[in-house]
Amino acid sequence: MATVSLNDIRKSFGALEVIHGVNIDINEGEFIVIVGPSGCGKSTLLRMVAGLETVTSGEIQINDIGVNHKEPMDRNIAMVFQNYALYPHMSVFDNMAYGLKIAGTAKSEITERVAVAAKLLQLEPYLKRKPRELSGGQRQRVAMGRAIVRKPDVFLFDEPLSNLDAKLRVQMRLEIKGLQKKLGITSLYVTHDQVEAMTLADRMIVMNEGVAEQIGAPLEVYERPATLFAAQFVGSPSMNILSGTAKDGAVTLDNGSVIETGTGVNGAVKIGIRPEHVVEDANGSIVVNSAMSEPLGANTLLHGHMSGTDTEFVVSLPGVHLEESLGGEKRFSAPPSTIHLFDPESGQRISR
């Protein structure tokens, strides 16, 4: 196991700075997920830890030793790629053993390590097969096995599940989480899927345009998002954001509706309300003109607009609701404790 520290890590391509000073100390055996939309810098950050990208400024440390100028092979890390990166002409055994052979490991030890990893990943029946004879999930296991046999200090995962179908992603997600806990290897995992981030991470780094918007445990980010971006990116469906003016424990929205918040904040604010925290209320001040419903089985998403505005608003209703029962104007409310307030200029969370 290893500790990893990123100290004011910055990356520039010419005059364009793409990573803006990321700081985090990662504990031994911790599973860190770097999450964000395409182009936010998450893979670039991971590649700098791997040594595949140079660091413009700042320092990366593994076990308190600076590795900025070390080659990837000298960092004792193992990386699992999005496209598996398997050798098509080699068997599963040879793919898993290749890195050890290059390192000059004894044949007996190679055989032992591959056997242990194959048993752990349920690949024993497939060791003589070529990658083309495997399913997507099996190929991903081979890629993970190749990383495991090296006994690295750190695992790096670059969107390893994005090529799999939805059901297999769920299965592999559970397998990766269980495997990481069993092996206890410090891991950094990149994904654009916030569900993966929420379910896998001990802590997550929410990235936006090269900035770490928030670093924290998944539920901490969900329940107390530090910025507007983190609030809207984490959670599905996305948090509703409305504009208004706060005074005397309530917010008056732009359409004149008043929502109780129970805070002493005054002035212009952005108010955030998650769809799942909204409840039907005949006397509620959240008035929505519904336009479309999205039945998901366990719940139904109601899509509409705030009355008198063009502001979109989504409500998650438990159970099945028929389309014809959701038309027209509906009233809702949200408990004050579930409401989030943000500064409209900086986007930063306003403490309650």
- Looking at the structure, do residues 218 and 336 belong to the same domain, yes or no? no
Q: What is the per-residue pLDDT for 324?
A: 57
- Looking at the structure, do residues 223 and 308 belong to the same domain, yes or no? no
Q: What is the pLDDT of residues 144-160, one digit of tens each?
A: 999 999 899 999 999 98
Q: What is the per-residue pLDDT for 251?
A: 92
Please spell the DSSP secondary structure of 225-277, one letter per residue.
-SBHHHHHHSSSSPPEEEEEEEETTEEEETTS-EEE------EEEEEEE-GGG
CA–CA distance, 343 with 288 (Å, rounded to integer): 24
Q: What is the pLDDT of residues 243-257, one digit of tens each?
A: 999 998 899 998 888
- Looking at the structure, do residues 78 and 170 belong to the same domain, yes or no? yes
What is the gyration radius of the CA atoms in the chain, in angstroms?
Answer: 24
**In the block, which residue shows the tokens 């700075």?**
17
- Looking at the structure, do residues 66 and 84 belong to the same domain, yes or no? yes
Q: If residue 90 lies in a helix (H) or strand (E), which one and from where to where? A: none
349 domain-assigned: no
- Looking at the structure, do residues 27 and 11 belong to the same domain, yes or no? yes
Cβ atoms of 120 and 128 within 8 Å: the answer is: no
pTM: 0.91
Closest CA to 286 of 306, 264, 261: 306
* Number of domains comprising the chain: 2
Cβ atoms of 50 and 60 within 8 Å: the answer is: no
Cβ atoms of 282 and 275 within 8 Å: the answer is: no
- Looking at the structure, do residues 227 and 245 belong to the same domain, yes or no? no
Residues in the chain with pLDDT values less than 50: none
- Looking at the structure, do residues 38 and 145 belong to the same domain, yes or no? yes
Count of CB atoms situated within 10 Å of the CB of 102: 9
Point out which residues pair with 273 in neighbouring strands: 240
Q: Which of 189, 213, 232 is the last residue of a domain?
A: 232
Task: Say which CATH number the domain at 171 has.
Answer: 3.40.50.300
Q: Which of 199, 232, 265 is the last residue of a domain?
A: 232
Backbone CA torsion sign across 49, 140, 124, 105: negative
Task: Say which CATH number the domain at 250 has.
Answer: 2.40.50.140
- Looking at the structure, do residues 114 and 249 belong to the same domain, yes or no? no
For 221, residues 6+ apart whose C-beta sits below 8 A from its C-beta are 204, 206, 214, 230, 234
- Looking at the structure, do residues 66 and 176 belong to the same domain, yes or no? yes
Q: What is the per-residue pLDDT for 296?
A: 86
**In the block, which residue shows the tokens 């403490």?**
351
CA–CA distance, 263 with 245 (Å, rounded to integer): 12
Q: Which of 204, 232, 260 is the last residue of a domain?
A: 232
Which domain does 169 fall in, by range?
Answer: 4-232
Backbone CA torsion sign across 202, 44, 86, 68: negative
Instruction: List the alpha helices (DSSP H) in 76-135.
Output: 92-102, 107-120
Q: What is the per-residue pLDDT for 164?
A: 83
